[in-house]
Structure 1
Amino acid sequence: MNARFGREGTMTYAELHAHTNFSLLDGSSSPEAMVEEASRLGLRALAITDHDTLSGIVRFGAAAETAGLQAITGMELTIGNDPYSPTQPGQGVGAISATEWGRSTAPVGDTDQGTSHLTLLAETLTGYRNLCTLLTEAYQCGGRDTPWVPFETLARHATGLIALSGCPQGELGQTLARHGPEVGMMVAARYREAFGKENYFIELHRHGLPGDGARNAGLQEVATRLGLGCVATQNAHYHDASRAQLHHVVTCIRHGTTLAEAGAHLRANDEYRLKSGAEMARLFRDECTRAGSDPRRDPVRTTLAIAERCTFTLHDLVYEFPKPRLPNGESALSFLTRLVEAGKTVFYPDATAEVDARLRHELEIADQLGLSGYLLVFKEIVDWSQSQGILVSMRGSAPASAMLYCMGLCPIDPLEHNLLFERFCSPERREYPDIDLDFPHERREEVIQHIYTKYGRDYAAMVCEVNTYRARSAVRDVAKVLGLSATRAQRLADALDRHDDDPLGRLAREDVHGRLAEILVDLSRQLVDSPRHHSIHVGGMVISAEPLAMVTPIVPARMTGRTVLPWDKDDLTILAEVFDVHLIKMDLLSLGMLSAIGRCFDHVASLTGERLELHGFRYDPRVYDQLCEADTVGLFQVESRAQQSFLPRWRPRNLADVAISVGAIRPGPGAARAGEHIVRRRWGREPVTYPARELIPALRETYGVLLWQEQCIQVAVIAAGYTPGEADQLRRAMSHKRSTEQMEAVCEEMVTRMIDRGYDNETAESIRAMVVGFAGYGFPRAHAYPFAHLALISATLRLRYPEAYYTALLNCQPMGFYAPHTLLWDAHRHGVRVLPVHVNHSAWPSTLEPILPEPVANREPVGAMHHIAIRLGLQEVHGLGPAAREAFEEARATGPFTSIADLVARTRFDRERLECLAEVGALIGLPTGDTTTGSSTDRRATAWLTGELAGFGQGHLPGLADQLVTRPALAPMTDWEEVQAEYRTLGYAPGRHAIAYLRPSLVAQRAFTADSLGKQRHGRLVRAGGLVICRQRPETAGGVLFLTVEDETGLFNAIVQPPVYERLRRVLRGEGLLVLEGPLQLNDGTVHIMVRKAWPLRPETPTGTTRSHTGELVGVRSHDFR
């Protein structure tokens, strides 16, 4: 049978040049779609050759593995044309200067005259490694946005690669078009010399364009004269013609133009798709005829020969985690054992047989899985961090390890809290367990750079994050391509509701553009989920014993000092599960609360001499009362609206209770109303039931409700007879995004095993439903305990050292649920004095400042902390910006400012910055600098003076203020105007709340204060108003909107059901000051207004003013969460 034909007589063919949507804003089909279409067409193999990236090869390889299609790894690499090559002046071709050659600014998929494209295929593992090395060097040479390599670098790394001459943007194609076959032969000969005659092929295309035949004839002539083979490719940019229009759209996005104006940027037709062997045989009939009997010159048959040679697959990759440094004569296991035994004497001074057995078991598993060196590497990272004064905590499943506890890596005792080691590590998983470390957000970079330094930049890189198009970004970009204005495009995007089942469909129904709306929606749907750009993963880092370029390219990140892999965390999972290649991702995460706790520890140490530590921290027992009262603003993990609703009903009294609170407010358990059932069962309002008696030990702690991932494992072990490792594999399988068929297969096995163990169908199905409904959403129990630990530390610090705690929170913003104004007003409610910003008393950050002692109600003094206040820093002033910090600190270093004129002269602040300072009262009491007025006492007059000083000139002669014209008589600012100015410029008015000034209007509307709502009757129709500080519409809440509103007495929460939200959407989303009306819901200490009506809070005349300026009040914006 002819080798070119399959069993049914259809022409066989391998596509060796194809792009996916990982050729960012050029390819328009996913790797999976390309594989599916290639399989449908009966292609022998498919090569993905994305522009200057290997980002899509893992997904491509996995899809091909499933489809039974040969996957060829390749890339279209950008080459910097050598200015001294035969194509230069004096050698036949004209002018590309060396400067132009190295300056490629063309977008992906295009070239300028200084660069060209070359299609490269990995024939062997060596070739793949050279591909990675070339791409790594391309980014080093050309930078993140314009990678390219010089020809000499290409030639040095040609082994194991098959090169195709490329598309018309290839050097050969460009040269032939401009200078003819003679010069083209010189170019091709150079590539032949670099790759060898058997590894360099002339690439032919046919896309139904004028000149295709003549170009191919010229290319074939070059091939014949040089004895080179020819290959037919499609240079496919989408899987079928249905994606051609999207290809036009992404091309326009890339070029920043519209379809109407794109012109020659767009491809001329929809022929850049995958085609069958029969189609390719027809297209290239003339080229095949010219080839005669020479198989190397038959462009279709050659594709099969090349595919057969390309034996590399991702299964061939080899990766090794670095080995730790060990003391002389020690193995990794012996050193680990010695460290664990030493830690046992500290953390378990009276170790029981249970402790010894647990540690012995864990060390045996570590030895069995070869984890000793891995754990020691983490130990070194933690030890180094602590030696630098950097706090370290841990999350995820790793706190379940008693070994790690004994080595000081985690502050939670896993035996005391019955944490399941198998959730962290088990023999059945045969992989390195995840260890997630938390660091203060401002110091994590020190740890990352330490790792780069220790292991070398060729051996370490961050994991990338693939940012994809979502409905809003797709609509915005597609609308602009269709010719809508940027304003209109943004308005359409903003109108989409992420909670709508089909937001794009709704847009099509509601938009007035008719047919244009249909086109917009259709193209946007196609664009959704396409890669948009790459960024750095939140904390994932890979280190290797060998240079990473042996496995993956290394790409420079936009962040200085960082490099990234082209693969994201899901790719690493696929590599492990499909290809058995385990790149170890260390998660080095930043936690804002650790920053705040660390700073608070520093404040406490400087004021009291007491050095607090995460390990062994003792909670103040009074914090549980505060939690039960939902007094949690500014506390870690328990400050949200959902927590404030749950805690008074749950009534936590210990660490385990707080851990359950942390675990209950999660998407999975929340969606299943786990928290509600646990509360009701705890207090006898609902019977405690279990699916089977055998599951009582696993579910007793949570009253028969599945809350923890460990419980998921235990249920599978007890009910279905899984080993702990098998059960964790089940949990992971259920948590991944799988097809319906895959999920049914996973669940069917579980049900079968339960029935085989004697469970009836009804019980087996109820257990299956419990596990499936939960999997993938809940916390590991081991994760919740360290978070609960930090929650109780934050609560204790706030209770005992409130000034230090709130100061630390301010200096760590943004973080948490609440903006600084809410935190500061909460501090005020807790008896903390807050001093205003002042240029001579404030530093750039907020600080602690001694004050005269004053009795504080409801507050027990703690040593020196009783005589301390918070002095707001200049960083709190909106409009100054970080650039002003250096100028301010340099000026203040020489002494206090003696006058406003002195301030202007030494800081050189512009008018806007000076007026901001004047508006918030930061210049009050500062002499004006003239000889007639004395000190500044009124903000309006001071603002006028600073504006005049700033505008007078930068010479700043002595007596500058005296040289100004006579100042006009200006009316002093009223209290309300000062409050408005402070909210607008500072976000907060120290000691004053804006809603207090609007209270007469609220009283006139019969509105209650926040602190009085809890005293009203359940179900009563009430009104309340204030400043909206938080909006939440979580996906698991079925479209319900939750509001948190602040007035001068506290916070209250409101619930808006979907029909009411639809009716009041505009006011609820667009107004910062609201009055809400609805029946009051009281439930075990929680208070909500079930909103029926809402309107803006716009009083006619606030107290103390002659006119209303409330529209200018809110320089404060709500924190909106999903």
Structure 2
Amino acid sequence: GAEEAVEWFKNIFGDDFYLEIQRHKTDRPDADQTTFPKQQRVNEEIIKIGKKYGVKVIATNDAHFVNEEDAEAHDRLICLSMGKDFDDPDRMRYTKQEWIKTTAEMNRIFSDVPEALANTMEIADKVEIYSIDNPALMPFYPIDSSFGTEEEYKTRYPEAALIEKFGETNFKRLGGYDKAIRIQLESDYLRHLTKIGARKKYGEELSEEVTSRLKFEIDTITNMGFPGYFLIVQDFINAARQMDVAVGPGRGSAAGSAVAYCLGITDIDPLKYDLLFERFLNPDRISMPDIDIDFDDEGRDKVLQWVTEKYGFEKVARIITYGTMATKSSIRDVARVHKLPLAEADRLAKLVPDRIPNVKKINLREAIEHVPELKEAANNPDPLVRDTLKYAEMLEGNVRSTGVHACGVIIGQTDISDIVPISTADDKETKEKLLVTQYEGSVIEETGLIKMDFLGLKTLTIIKDALINIETTHGIKIDINTIPLDDPKTYELYSNGQTTGTFQFESTGMQKYLKELHPSKFEDLIAMNALYRPGPMDYIPSFIARKQGKEKIVYDIPVMEKFLDETYG
């Protein structure tokens, strides 16, 4: 058993294989006192086996919290996770020695085996300094070798030529010669696909406006190192369409990209609507492109399955989410394990205000300082009340649960486990195992991994079903992308506020303003959608009055009229 396992690991890892001993001795009556005697028996055998097989022994301490004084809060957290009351004699207990011990504390505990302490430091010296921050690790889009290969491109583009093309500083930022070669190949293929798409969208003879816009965008995308991103996105969007999955026309700043339009990523002509590419990718501010892609919510999983099969299970992962203990819920949770009466727990939680003047983020400490009743409870002579607030404050912000990000998906250049720690989660629909990053979305970009948002939109499912029903009942096949944008009956529905179920136009407030506005062109709807949000909402009455000629349109700077006339100044 144990000796065979030690031999096996020793043969594989050599001098990098160690055996550990732990000593969680405690004399606290409220702690687990059965662990230490077991550890002593195991430690004795480990030291013997280590000597027999020439494996060094190290001294460690199990760590579940940071400081010694956190032991009591940790005890309550275990009660919460196990669904036990604090006074339950049969509940799980720790030794309360599981904090991150100092050098002095470890020296005292293992004074009789100094070599085990020295060996622990040996491991620390072996660990290389490394950073989890990486430049963008763009997945490799498989380009057909008939178009070109990296080896072929190296004969075509010597290093000096690419340094001149990208500029020395940018060349280094992109990652050097091999990365630049890859980007050049992807850029040329992107240009090739864009040209094909542009002729379909704008006609065989491209105008100077279209040509110059596409050149500017592709040059910017290339210099920022992102042509591979566009190739990957257009690939799975086109695959989705081939699988009869409804795809949204595009939303957000990506709609400002003519390249995205030509590739079929979006279905909105940015030149027609004077949309800015720089809102999407700005050469003066290097950041990852972020394209939100809408799929019908029934077809989204098909697309994700396709992506996983194309790039490999180990290279595609979802993103974890952490549910933390909020201020009010931490009070209620601790009160429950303390058996504090429900009415009192509810009273304490409700004393926490939703806002405190000049306080950005409310926590229990701030609430106690600002709410006299809470301060009084924190100093209550009844230990049940006092301790509930004490440990609620200590546990506030702790991770209570984990989940999977609703739409974020990572596609890796290599196995994702090479870059970040991973775990698994069950797919809610199929119950299959999904890879999940253990880093949440807010820090994923810093690791270099590329996040893409696959959104499932119910509205697209409704539209898709409606088109199928129309064809089934009336024999009429409708292409949703070719419906007219100037249909008077449609604007009549909007003017009557009959927009229930219409994405971003169905709220009561929006319906009220639509009745007042009487929109008569598509640009009116664009403007209302932009205005109906905090801040610009104040301008809605003026916008409506100007459209209806009840308020004079004034241009503070006359030259701006050609840019602002669509929105009435």
What letter corresponds to residue 422 of structure 1 in structure 2?
E
Candidates 302, 310, 313, aligned match of 1:454: 310
Q: After TM superposition, give the deviation of residue 522 of structure 1 in Å.
A: 3.4
Distance 1:315 1:609 in 2: 57
Candidates 635, 639, 644, aligned match of 2:511: 644
Q: After TM superposition, give the deviation of residue 356 of structure 1 in Å.
A: 1.6
What letter corresponds to residue 524 of structure 2 in structure 1?
D
Larger RCO (CA under 8 A, 6+ residues apart): 2
Q: After TM superposition, give the deviation of residue 413 of structure 1 in Å.
A: 1.1
Q: Decide whether aligned partners of structure 1 residues 700 and 305 sit closer, same or farther in structure 2, where only a CA change above 3 A counts.
A: farther
Q: Decide whether aligned partners of structure 1 residues 264 and 626 sit closer, same or farther in structure 2, where only a CA change above 3 A counts.
A: closer
Q: Is the 8 A contact 1:473 1:493 kept in 2?
A: no
1:273 matched to 2:96: no
Distance 2:375 2:516 in 1: 44
1:680 matched to 2:542: yes
1:657 matched to 2:524: yes
Secondary structure at the residue paired with 2:438? coil
Secondary structure at the residue paired with 2:466? helix
Q: Is the 8 A contact 1:555 1:566 kept in 2?
A: yes
Distance 1:616 1:253 in 2: 56
Q: After TM superposition, give the deviation of residue 340 of structure 1 in Å.
A: 2.2
Secondary structure at the residue paired with 1:610? coil
1:671-710 to 2 correspondences below 5 Å: 673-680=535-542, 683=545
Distance 1:225 1:697 in 2: 87
Q: Decide whether aligned partners of structure 1 residues 214 and 510 sit closer, same or farther in structure 2, where only a CA change above 3 A counts.
A: closer
Counterpart of 2:418 in structure 1 is 550
Candidates 552, 563, 583, aligned match of 2:435: 563
Distance 2:317 2:16 in 1: 35
1:256 matched to 2:79: no
What letter corresponds to residue 677 of structure 1 in structure 2?
Y
Distance 1:433 1:696 in 2: 32
Secondary structure at the residue paired with 1:438? strand
Q: After TM superposition, give the deviation of residue 334 of structure 1 in Å.
A: 4.0
Counterpart of 2:469 in structure 1 is 603
Distance 1:332 1:230 in 2: 51
Distance 1:656 1:374 in 2: 31
Counterpart of 2:177 in structure 1 is none
Q: Decide whether aligned partners of structure 1 residues 526 and 689 sit closer, same or farther in structure 2, where only a CA change above 3 A counts.
A: farther
1:420 matched to 2:420: no
Q: Is the 8 A contact 2:73 2:391 kept in 1?
A: yes
Q: Structure 2: which 5+ residue stretches go unaligned?
A: 28-32, 149-184, 357-361
Report sequence identity in percent.
Answer: 25
1:532 matched to 2:349: no
What letter corresponds to residue 194 of structure 2 in structure 1?
V
Q: Is the 8 A contact 2:348 2:374 kept in 1?
A: no
Secondary structure at the residue paired with 2:128? coil
Secondary structure at the residue paired with 2:472? helix
Q: Decide whether aligned partners of structure 1 residues 701 and 493 sit closer, same or farther in structure 2, where only a CA change above 3 A counts.
A: farther
Counterpart of 1:392 in structure 2 is 247
1:615 matched to 2:481: yes
What letter corresponds to residue 100 of structure 2 in structure 1?
L
What letter corresponds to residue 457 of structure 1 in structure 2?
F
1:342 matched to 2:196: yes
Secondary structure at the residue paired with 2:275? coil
Q: Is the 8 A contact 1:205 1:235 kept in 2?
A: no
Counterpart of 1:594 in structure 2 is 460
Counterpart of 2:173 in structure 1 is none
Q: Decide whether aligned partners of structure 1 residues 677 and 420 sit closer, same or farther in structure 2, where only a CA change above 3 A counts.
A: same
Distance 2:53 2:563 in 1: 74
RMSD, aligned α-carbons: 3.9
Q: Is the 8 A contact 2:23 2:40 kept in 1?
A: no
Secondary structure at the residue paired with 2:426? coil
Could you report, residue by residue, the CA deviation over 1:994-1037 in whole angstroms, capped at 9, with x for unpaired residues? Answer: xxxxxxxxxxxxxxxxxxxxxxxxxxxxxxxxxxxxxxxxxxxx
Candidates 421, 445, 465, aligned match of 1:573: 445
Could you report, residue by residue, the CA deviation over 1:755-792 in whole angstroms, capped at 9, with x for unpaired residues? Answer: xxxxxxxxxxxxxxxxxxxxxxxxxxxxxxxxxxxxxx
Candidates 502, 505, 522, aligned match of 2:390: 522
Q: After TM superposition, give the deviation of residue 676 of structure 1 in Å.
A: 0.9
1:730-745 to 2 correspondences below 5 Å: none
Q: After TM superposition, give the deviation of residue 342 of structure 1 in Å.
A: 2.9
Distance 1:490 1:610 in 2: 62
Distance 2:349 2:519 in 1: 41
Q: After TM superposition, give the deviation of residue 440 of structure 1 in Å.
A: 0.7
Q: Is the 8 A contact 2:500 2:506 kept in 1?
A: yes
Q: Decide whether aligned partners of structure 1 residues 627 and 565 sit closer, same or farther in structure 2, where only a CA change above 3 A counts.
A: same
Secondary structure at the residue paired with 1:376? helix
Could you report, residue by residue, the CA deviation over 1:860-883 in whole angstroms, capped at 9, with x for unpaired residues? Answer: xxxxxxxxxxxxxxxxxxxxxxxx
Secondary structure at the residue paired with 2:99? coil
Q: After TM superposition, give the deviation of residue 441 of structure 1 in Å.
A: 0.7
What letter corresponds to residue 521 of structure 1 in structure 2?
L
TM-score by length of 2: 0.75
TM-score by length of 1: 0.40
Q: Is the 8 A contact 1:400 1:423 kept in 2?
A: yes
Q: Is the 8 A contact 1:379 1:409 kept in 2?
A: yes
Candidates 449, 471, 476, aligned match of 1:583: 449
Could you report, residue by residue, the CA deviation over 1:177-202 in whole angstroms, capped at 9, with x for unpaired residues? Answer: xxxxxxxx776556544532443143
1:630 matched to 2:497: yes
Candidates 307, 316, 321, aligned match of 2:139: 321
Counterpart of 2:215 in structure 1 is 360
Q: Decide whether aligned partners of structure 1 residues 247 and 418 sit closer, same or farther in structure 2, where only a CA change above 3 A counts.
A: same
Distance 2:243 2:363 in 1: 50
Distance 1:409 1:324 in 2: 18
Q: Is the 8 A contact 2:84 2:337 kept in 1?
A: yes
What letter corresponds to residue 77 of structure 2 in structure 1?
V
Counterpart of 1:200 in structure 2 is 18
Q: Is the 8 A contact 2:138 2:229 kept in 1?
A: no
Q: After TM superposition, give the deviation of residue 649 of structure 1 in Å.
A: 5.1
Q: After TM superposition, give the deviation of residue 333 of structure 1 in Å.
A: 3.7
Q: After TM superposition, give the deviation of residue 219 of structure 1 in Å.
A: 5.1
Q: After TM superposition, give the deviation of residue 606 of structure 1 in Å.
A: 2.6
What letter corresponds to residue 460 of structure 2 in structure 1?
L
Q: Is the 8 A contact 2:257 2:277 kept in 1?
A: yes
1:867-1016 to 2 correspondences below 5 Å: none
**Larger deviation: 517-526 or 442-451?**
517-526
Candidates 309, 320, 325, aligned match of 2:126: 309
Q: Decide whether aligned partners of structure 1 residues 557 and 214 sit closer, same or farther in structure 2, where only a CA change above 3 A counts.
A: closer
Secondary structure at the residue paired with 1:557? strand
Distance 1:202 1:625 in 2: 76
Counterpart of 1:76 in structure 2 is none
Q: Structure 1: which 5+ residue stretches go unaligned?
A: 1-84, 87-184, 289-296, 576-581, 705-1122
Q: Decide whether aligned partners of structure 1 residues 204 and 227 sit closer, same or farther in structure 2, where only a CA change above 3 A counts.
A: farther
Kindly tell me the number of residue pairs found equivalent between the two proteins: 499
Q: Decide whether aligned partners of structure 1 residues 412 and 186 sit closer, same or farther in structure 2, where only a CA change above 3 A counts.
A: closer
Secondary structure at the residue paired with 2:524? helix
Q: Decide whether aligned partners of structure 1 residues 188 and 339 sit closer, same or farther in structure 2, where only a CA change above 3 A counts.
A: closer
Counterpart of 1:935 in structure 2 is none
Distance 2:192 2:51 in 1: 70
Distance 1:525 1:698 in 2: 54
Report the structure, 1 or 2, having the larger helix content. 2
Secondary structure at the residue paired with 2:301? helix
Q: After TM superposition, give the deviation of residue 381 of structure 1 in Å.
A: 1.3
Q: After TM superposition, give the deviation of residue 310 of structure 1 in Å.
A: 0.4
What letter corresponds to residue 570 of structure 1 in structure 2?
S
Q: Is the 8 A contact 2:234 2:265 kept in 1?
A: yes
Q: Decide whether aligned partners of structure 1 residues 326 and 375 sit closer, same or farther in structure 2, where only a CA change above 3 A counts.
A: farther
Distance 1:695 1:273 in 2: 64
